[in-house]
């Protein structure tokens, strides 16, 4: 298989030196890259800024902003069999990016934020025979929110995890199907969860799609 994997956070710049972002370590995505490369798949990684070095054996594209993530994914997805979207995407960006550095005035400032594009939802509109595995990070009403995202983004399954996953070495996930069934529950190190998830994709998600081609 040729697999597109997105990982890490995106950044949205306020001025040339300050940005909005989140605490994603990129570890879940990088563990999936490791597992997929070890299993002999061709992997294309689109990664936000993280402290780890990209795993060996994959094609790497570095991005910072959600818009850059979108451009890369739109360009790369058509040649892949599927996408695993672990990136922790900034949902909002400052309406305008100030050139240079904002200087203090002694007064409060107000940032006007606008929504960024939903990259996975856009890939969902162009997926055809390809499969899409989304991640949902939820702090409230997890199953309903994850199912809403699965449908909105046209996913073949969604990996539900909670906010304790951010920056952690371990994860505990529930995989939900389009009919809201629990397909699997995996717990342990992100490497272990990645290996299990990849086996599920190889055995069930990809198999079903290639038979339907
Ligand atoms: N995602 C994306 N583009 C965005 C936001 C999210 O591609 N602008 C992807 C993520 O990589 C993940 C899935 O969509 O695979 C769900 O991300 P999540 O942050 O849980 O949900 P959001 O759609 O951003 O909704 P909310 O933040 O309101 O919960």
Tell how far the Cα of 1 is from the centroid of ligand 1, in angstroms: 24
Q: With cut-offs at 50, 70 and 90, classify the pLDDT of residue 95.
A: very high
Q: With cut-offs at 50, 70 and 90, classify the pLDDT of residue 80.
A: very high
Per-chain mean pLDDT for the chain: 95
Could you give the CA distance from residue 204 to residue 180 in angstroms, rounded to a whole number?
Answer: 16
**Distance from first CA to last CA of the chain, Å, rounded?**
14
Which residues are CB-neighbours of 194 under 8 A, at least 6 positions away? 28, 31, 32, 34, 35
Mutate-to-test residue for ligand 1 from 8, 83, 118, 175, highest number of ligand atoms within 8 A of CB: 118
- Pocket lining: 87 vs ligand 1, CB cutoff 6 Å: yes
Over the stretch 96-132, which tens digit does the pLDDT of each residue have? Answer: 999 999 999 999 999 999 999 999 999 999 999 999 9
Q: What is the pLDDT, as a whole number, of residue 211?
A: 64
Does pTM surpass 0.75? yes
Q: Kindly list the structural domains of the chain, giving each domain's residue range(s) and its CATH number in brackets, ordered by start.
A: 2-100+110-212 (3.40.50.10300)
Tell how far the Cα of 84 is from the centroid of ligand 1, in angstroms: 12
Q: What is the pLDDT, as a whole number, of residue 167?
A: 81
Could you give the CA distance from residue 162 to residue 26 in angstroms, rounded to a whole number?
Answer: 15
Q: With cut-offs at 50, 70 and 90, classify the pLDDT of residue 22.
A: very high
């Amino acid at each position: 298989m040729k697999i597109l994997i997105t990982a890490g956070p995106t950044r949205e710049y306020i001025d040339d030196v300050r940005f909005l972002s989140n605490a994603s370590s990129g570890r879940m995505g990088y563990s999936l890259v490791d597992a997929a490369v070890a299993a002999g798949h061709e992997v294309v990684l689109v990664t936000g800024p993280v402290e780890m070095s990209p795993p060996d054996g994959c094609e790497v594209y570095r991005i910072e902003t959600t818009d850059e993530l979108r451009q890369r994914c739109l360009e790369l997805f058509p040649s892949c069999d599927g996408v695993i979207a672990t990136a922790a995407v900034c949902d909002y960006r400052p309406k305008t990016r100030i050139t240079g550095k904002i200087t203090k005035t002694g007064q409060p400032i107000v940032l006007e934020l606008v929504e960024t594009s939903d990259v996975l939802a856009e890939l969902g509109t162009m997926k055809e025979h390809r499969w899409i595995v989304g991640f949902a990070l939820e702090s409230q009403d997890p199953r309903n929110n994850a199912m809403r995202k699965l449908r909105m983004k046209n996913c073949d399954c969604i990996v539900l995890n909670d906010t304790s996953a951010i920056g952690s070495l371990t994860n505990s996930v529930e995989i939900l199907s389009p009919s809201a069934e629990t397909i699997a529950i995996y717990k342990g190190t992100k490497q272990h969860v990645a290996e299990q998830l990849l086996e599920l994709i190889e055995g069930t998600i990809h198999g079903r799609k290639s038979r339907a081609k």
